[in-house]
Amino acid sequence: MTAANLFSPMSIRSVEIRNRVWVPPMCQYSSFNRDGMPTNWHLVHLGSMAVGGAGLIIVEATAVSADGRITVHDSGIWNDEQRDAWAPIVEFIHDQGSVAGIQLAHAGRKSSVRPDWNYAGAAGPMPVSEGGWVPIAPSSIPFDGESSTPREMTRGDIDRIIVDFTTATQRAVQAGFRVLEIHAAHGYLIHEFLSPLSNRRTDEYGGSLENRARLLLRIVDVVRAEAGEELAVFVRFSATDWVEGGWTPHEASTVARWCADRGVDLFDISTGGNVTGVSTGGNVTGVAIPAVPSYQVTFSEQVKRTAQVSTAAVGLIFDAEVANGIITSGEADAVLLGREHMRDPHFTLRAAGELGIEIDYWPEQYLRARRRTPAVGLAAGEVAF
């Protein structure tokens, strides 16, 4: 069998993805009317990367409820109007040969904050008087002073979250999404339940790993049921909190195996986001994250090997050769490039040329701009331009 490379197609259930160059969820904070509706910005932002050849495009963290948003400008899929607004964006992505996925999310204690860049006021929590709300979380522990103190969730709240993920999945399927990703990373609600640093509960949702994973596993069950047997279901994990006493790669691998046994097809492996500092004996120690190129790939490889599951790697991956090496080495089954796709929405087309790989999905409208090399048909003496 020939080893996979960056441009090998990938089949997940009935979903055919043309390559292993994927676009991760990237929050745009561009639902400017505070109604959770995707806009023309989303169409052009996502559509340009589909034109540019990406195999899978996962739209930004999309709230399953209004109070599950990070900011008032987040997109959502908690009502039918939002579903109907997503549908033409999904259709355009699919018309270009890419696959459209959606990340279903609840921000938990990191919700109701001001956006970084499109709000005139100061950063920090958005008060109720300005349209914010009181966040909810597994325990009443704020996110390192950067958000409001959340209300500890009741069992009724937990049951409501399950309903919200159920109805959001139904709408996502109706909108045409082919990949459904559950956001269990970056310190948002599900990650808050998984990590002992943010979950101090004493009921069946706290304490042991089995208990801390209970919410995620319930969500996996309903998303898998609503997705049916044809569509792909992913989970995004932060594989570590980067601090002693927090969520660990071993725990991530264990829970990944439990999720796979319940029908999850692939794990999108990131890290961090749950704490920025840890208090020990009255001293606060900052979380040191070695954010160098490809710094999270090792966690993808560890979860893949330990849990015997498919994974995707993410985190400061910029270069076509490096991305290809991650696939050919078996460290991950796909790579997700966020910043590089924002810099160059046509990264995939460029990468194929750089790697000397022939692809047949250059948009016809752009063929005159295609750079050719000897590996992709440049005749002797012909100039590549």
Which DSSP state fits 153? Answer: P
Among the listed residues 176, 267, 179, 185, the one whose alpha carbon sits nearest the alpha carbon of residue 223: 179
Contact 170, 258 (CB under 8 A): no
Give one DSSP letter per residue of 301-347, joined into a string: HHHHHHHT--EEEESS---HHHHHHHHHTTS-SEEE-SHHHHH-TTH
Report the C-alpha gap between 148 and 222 in whole angstroms: 30
Report the C-alpha gap between 108 and 133 in whole angstroms: 11
CB burial class (10 A; 0-12, 13-18, 19+) of residue 318?
middle
Report the C-alpha gap between 148 and 166 in whole angstroms: 27
Which DSSP state fits 295? Answer: T
188 in catalytic set = yes
Give the strand pairing for 232-238 and 179-184: parallel
Region for residue 34 given its phi and psi (left: phi exceeds 0; alpha: psi -120 to 50; beta: otherwise): left
Helix axes 297-307, 249-261, angle to 10 degrees: 50
Sign of the alpha-carbon dihedral angle for 234, 240, 241, 246: positive
Q: List the structure tokens of 291.
A: 């954010």
Identified catalytic residue from 29, 119, 188, 205 = 188
Q: What own/partner pairs with CB < 8 Å and gap ≥ 24 does 40-46 have?
A: 42/75, 42/89, 43/88, 43/89, 43/92, 46/89, 46/92, 46/93, 46/100
Q: Which residues are catalytic?
A: 188
